[in-house]
Amino acid sequence: MITVSVDLGERSYPIHIGTDLIGRPELFAPHVAGASITIVSNTTVEPLYGEQLRAALAPLGKEVSTVVLHDGEAHKNWQTLNLIFDALLERHADRKTTLIALGGGVIGDMTGFAAACYMRGVPFIQVPTTLLSQVDSSVGGKTGINHPLGKNMVGAFYQPLAVIADIAALRTLPQRELAAGLAEVIKTAAIADAAFFDWIEANIDALNRCDPQALALAVKRCCEIKASVVAADEREGGLRAILNLGHTFGHAIEAGLGYGEWLHGEAVGCGMAMAADLSVRAGHLDDAARRRIVALVAAARLPTRAPELGAERYIELMKGDKKAEAGNIKFVLLEGIGKPLMTSAAEDMLRATLAACV
């Protein structure tokens, strides 16, 4: 097992990375102070890992209950969030009740948001079971739900007490979900570590095969990078925004198609290809680097061509992005692999990118 620390003073927490961690009571025990635990999972993950987690929690002597939600991005909304609150209130959960998010990014985001809101804050633990959630969404304390007019527009910054990333859980991932996680792995390297990007290029076949050693190394490096960024800028006042490479385009794709049509990682992968194109048009990036990015996205079995929504619709959706200021669209672009910058782009360049990448 490897442990990466997120350094946030009194709110610091460990990220444990390894194989068969869900069944280890000692990883949960230090973070459960109250008399009760509520596991939040979904209809896909709970049958796979629910019993294993409950068995690990049994020696702690706590009252354990489970809330099982529908699976998928389409259910990341107020109606589903209220099911968590309903369960907590019906079971008379108090301020020391610990929530455990057992699932991918949707479950992690909603459980974290519920923990931030219930009684104005209860403890929670992340147990991410997808590659995307292990390398990105479970780390850093971003929680929330979607709104029909924008992705993740309602939420809170709220840190977990621990992240327990079990590489063994990735064995049950469908290939499409694995690829979606690889999008965030590639993104992390593209913004922060050129040598890591080289490593992904050399090991993409092993990652596509779900090789546990390759995946453990990828999760570790991504968590190290994200932990350092979050420690420097917890609430995305500046530096942390670089983690959104590909997301301005990607969120527009997700919202424009209707949440759940494309997976988040698929949209981010395509969004990276679009951001690389715009980086070249803006004079920041050379075309050889753009070709490497697009080739790696494609090698991870991710889309590199965006759906046809129309330029006006794309621009409308991007103006609603969280990074936009007074209707001015902000992008994370690249000056080179491992060299991000936050900037705006001339509308004619943006339209040219949309025309070239759709």
Instruction: Provide the annotated active-site residues.
Output: 120, 142, 184, 226, 236, 240, 244, 247, 251, 264
Structure token digits, residue 318: 């991007």
Please answer whether residues 201 and 214 qualify as being in contact, where contact means their C-beta atoms are separated by less than 8 angstroms.
Answer: no
Q: How would you write the chain as a 3-class SS string?
A: CEEEEECCHHHCEEEEEECCCCCCHHHHHHHCCCCEEEEEEECCCHHHHHHHHHHHHHHHCCEEEEEEECCCHHHCCHHHHHHHHHHHHHCCCCCCCEEEEEECHHHHHHHHHHHHHHHHCCCEEEEECCHHHHHHHCCCCEEEEEECCEEEEEEEECCCCCEEEEHHHHHHCCHHHHHHHHHHHHHHHHHHCHHHHHHHHHHHHHHHCCCHHHHHHHHHHHHHHHHHHHHHCCCCCCHHHHHHCCHHHHHHHHHHHCCCCCCHHHHHHHHHHHHHHHHHHCCCCCHHHHHHHHHHHHHCCCCCCCCCCCHHHHHHHHHCCCCCECCECCEEEEEECCEEEEECCCHHHHHHHHHHHC
If one counts every other C-beta atom within 10 angstroms of the C-beta of residue 175, the result is 10
Name the packing angle between helices 212-232 and 175-192 (round to 10°). 50
Instruction: Tell me the C-alpha distance between 132 and 185, whole Å.
Output: 8
Instruction: Tell me the C-alpha distance between 190 and 331, whole Å.
Output: 14
